[in-house]
Amino acid sequence: MTPTVLIVDDDPDCAEALSDTLQDVGYQALTAASAMDALRYLKSERRPSVIILDLLMPGMTGEEFLEQRQADPLLAEIPVIVLSATPPPWPAGDGRMPVLRKPVDPAELLEIIASVTSL
């Protein structure tokens, strides 16, 4: 089965670039333009292998998405990689999840995806 990555980012150019990079190396890449769209997808479709999440989005923020995800035992198991232009509000290296700054190095992203999914 092809590993699936859900990209949650309100910037269509960023989401498309990430999607292209992932598809080029054999991942199935899905995109959601908002955290609400991502939650709807996660509750109605099969679960992805990993979620790439932007923090700063209109409406529901990435942090609010993480709270909703954590509250659902099935969704809480899905690894998340935070990808944001600004640092997260929690201390670096606290073990929550990998955090990459935009613009992202594709090789670094692929390495982290492999490490959090064991793919």
Virtual CA dihedral for 104, 76, 6, 40, nearest 10 degrees?
-130
Q: What is the pLDDT of residues 76-113, one digit of tens each?
A: 999 999 988 877 665 555 556 888 888 899 999 999 99
Closest C-alpha to 90, from 60, 66, 115, 57: 66
**Is 75 a residue whose pLDDT tops 60?**
yes
pLDDT band at 45 (very low <50, low <70, confident <90, very high): confident
Q: Over 90: is that where the pLDDT of 117 sits? A: no
Domain spans, the chain: 4-117
Q: 50 versus 84: which is more confidently predicted? A: 50
Please say whether the beta carbons of 63 and 39 come within 8 A: no
- Residue 108, classed as helix, strand or coil, is helix
State how far Cα 111 lies from the chain centre: 14
CA distance 30 to 119: 17
The CA radius of gyration of the chain, in Å to the nearest whole number, is: 13
**pLDDT recorded at residue 13:** 95
| pLDDT per position as a tens digit, 8-36 | 999 999 999 999 999 999 999 999 999 99
- The pLDDT confidence band at residue 2, using thresholds 50, 70 and 90, is confident
The pLDDT score that the predictor gives to residue 23 is: 97
CATH fold of 4-117 reads Rossmann fold (3.40.50)
Q: How confident is the model at residue 46 (pLDDT cuts 50, 70, 90)?
A: confident
Instruction: Name the token pair of 84.
Output: 């944001």
CA atoms of 11 and 92, how far apart (whole Å)? 24
